[in-house]
Every structure is written in structure tokens, then in C-alpha cells.
Amino acid sequence: MIRHLKKICFVGILLLTWPSCQTDQKNDVGFINTVNGRISVEKLKFALTHEHIMSNFGAEANYLPQYQRDSLFDQVLPYLKSIKALGVSTIFDCTTAYFGRDVNILKALADASGMQLITNTGFYGAANDRYVPEFAFKQNAAEISKRWIAEFDNGIDQTGIKPGFIKLAFDNGAPSEIDIKLFVAGILTHLSTGLTIAVHTGDNPLAAAKQLALLEEHQVSPEAWIWVHANKVKNEQLLIDAAKKGAWISLDGVKEANVAEYIRKIGYFKAQNLLHKVLLSHDGNSFPRGGKIRTYEAISKNLIPALKEQGYTDEEIDQLMVKNPQQAFAIKIRTSP
């Protein structure tokens, strides 16, 4: 009898969960890919969501970047360890392919420092499309997305290292054909993989509006989209409107010198009960084409103490630095209702 009941229960559960099992088959909800494999988003802990461990920005576009490996390690490894000592557990590396992404180096740095590092798929369409590979101009969005989906399914090159998000970028001004095409490829990749789409948009309301319209057209929720460099937006009401639709607002230019400005910006979101849509980071770079470190420590050293002085609670800090990254980046297909 009990065995029989168990069987009925099992079938019942199977039937109840069947549709969600199907949609989430290849995206375990609540998980993320680090360069060391898949982890529960709960393990992200304190996360910086927009930094560059290294990049080739300013150099020629090259699929495989040429780094001076020894000087890179000499400069970046001690810095990563110092950031870890400040309490940072995870860094999202926003350097795309052709822009200086090297997942083998990221993995070696993660192993040596203990920092959890997350890499991306996608192409960088800003900088006048300088880092967009030639073939992307000829292929259609579906063809481009196949390459990104394959990185998610099989890993990047032969490394087995999988991307944890999609990184794209729009140039200033009216959205260009190539930037739009790459964004549609990003949407198709999201619909297949559940990877969140982080897009360098900055103070370009036209590009933001276009992206939101394309998401709607493809029935993807704005919750799958991050407005990167939103700190540069002058008309902050636009950010509030986007956040209310579910979009993630990345205020990612924190420096010691602009803490007061960030206190004001964060306060603006808090006043509208939208603290749960804000992501904070520095857009730092610990190896900008071999140059000096653009630091990513002001949030820990300056901003958080200042927020606490303003009366922010530990729960609110935790919301900003732990919970929001978890929810923004959990690998999950987000269709609009």
C-alpha cells in the first residue's frame, strides 16, 4: 500500500514539475558558471559584477590576446589576494573575446588566488566596433548566437571553461546595425542558455530603449538584462523606469573620489524601493594592456563604510553586494509573462 502511494506521489510530482523540468533542463536554476565550474549562486557571496582582470583595450583586436604572462601574474595575483582579503569572493570579468579574454589565465589566477572568477561570451560592439570580428558583420544573429551557445554547452575553445554571462556593448548615438544584430544574438543565446545579458550602454537612452523593445519583441523579461555603466546616465528617471520593469541597473564606476555621488545615486534608488535592482562595481582593470592597475577596492574600503555612516543596515549592504548579484546572474531563462 505504502509502496503504491509512493508511486502515485512520484508520478504526481513528475507531472507537476514536468513543464519546468523541460524549460530548465540545461540551466539548473540558481547556478552560475565560474572558470572552475558550476556553483550554486549562494556561493558567489560578496561579488563585484563589472571589473576587468585584464584587457587589451586600445590594442588591435585579437582572438588570442598577447599578454606578458609573467608580468601579468606579478601584478594581478597579489592584487587579487589583497581584494580577497577585503572580503570579496567573486569577480565578474567583463573582458570579451577579441578584447583580451583569456580563460586559461583567468583559471590560473582563480586557482592561485582563491578568488572566484566568472568569464563571459559575446562580443564588444562599442569602440566603433573595433573589437567585433569580421565574420560577425557577415553572419546573421542566429549564426552568431550559435557560437556563443556552443561556448555555454561545450566550453570555450578546448578548455571546458564555460561563460557565466553574455557581455555586449553599444556605441554612442543611434544604435548601429551591428550593435543591434549582436544584441539579438544575445537574446537568442539567453533563450537557449539562460545566461544574463550585460550590455555596455552608458548614457545612451536610445540604445537602452532599443534593447528594451527588442527584449519585449522576443518575449524576454528585462530581468535578463543589465544596463551597464548606468552611473553615466544623466536622466536618472530613465533608470528608475527601467528598474521598475525589472532591468538591472549597474552603477559600476565607484572610486574613492566619487563616493558622495554614489551615496546620492544609491539613495535615489532606495527612496523608490529599488535597492534590489542595483549592482555596484568599479569597472577596474588589474592589467590594462600591461599598464598600471585601475583599482577595484573603493567599494570595500570607502563606499560601504560611508553607506553605514549614512545608516544603511547590514541587510541593505548584503542586498547590494550579495543578493542582487545572485539574482541578476543566476542562469535561468527569463521570459516575459
Position of minimal CB gap to Zn ion: 283
Q: How far apart are CA 284 and CA 286, in angstroms?
A: 7
230 interacts with Zn ion by CB under 5 A: no
Nearest distance, CB of residue 266 and Zn ion, angstroms: 20
What is the smallest separation between the CB atom of 97 and Zn ion, expressed in angstroms?
14
Minimum CB–partner distance for residue 230 and Zn ion (Å): 13
CA 162 to chain centre: 14
CB nearer to Zn ion: pick between 54 and 161:
54
Query: CA–CA separation, 283 vs 251, rounded Å?
Result: 9
Nearer Cβ to Zn ion, position 141 or 253?
253
Q: Which listed range, 74-82, 87-95, 149-157, 168-176, lies at the site for Zn ion (CB under 5 A)?
A: 87-95
Name the phi and psi angles at 297, rounded to 5: -130, -5
Size of the site for Zn ion (CB under 5 A): 2
| Interaction of residue 94 with Zn ion, rule CB under 5 A | yes
Query: What is the phi/psi pair of residue 79, to 5°?
Result: -65, -45
Least Å from the CB of residue 132 to Zn ion: 16
Q: Which residues contact 283 (CB under 8 A, 6 or more apart)?
A: 50, 51, 52, 94, 229, 252, 253, 294
Q: Which stretch binds Zn ion (CB under 5 A): 2-10, 37-45, 91-99, 210-218?
A: 91-99
Task: Identify the CA nearest to 123 among candidates 202, 224, 199, 227.
Answer: 199
Residue appearing with cell numbers 563585484: 48
- Closer to Zn ion at the Cβ: 283 or 297? 283
Hunting for cell 558558471 — which residue is that? 33
CA dist., res. 205 & res. 73, Å (int): 39
Determine the interface stretch with Zn ion among 79-87, 219-227, 280-288, 307-315 (rule: CB under 5 A). Answer: 280-288
Taking CB under 5 A as the binding criterion, the range among 27-35, 90-98, 167-175, 242-250 that sits at the site for Zn ion is: 90-98
Measured from the CB atom, is 179 or 283 closer to Zn ion?
283
Question: CB under 8 Å to 120, separation ≥6 — which residues?
Answer: 92, 93, 94, 95, 96, 101, 163, 164, 165, 166, 167, 198
Q: Is 283 in the site for Zn ion (CB under 5 A)?
A: yes
Amino acid making up residue 52: H
Q: Smaller CB distance to Zn ion: residue 125 or 149?
A: 125
Q: Which is nearer to Zn ion, 118 or 191 (CB)?
A: 118
Residues that bind Zn ion (CB under 5 A): 94, 283
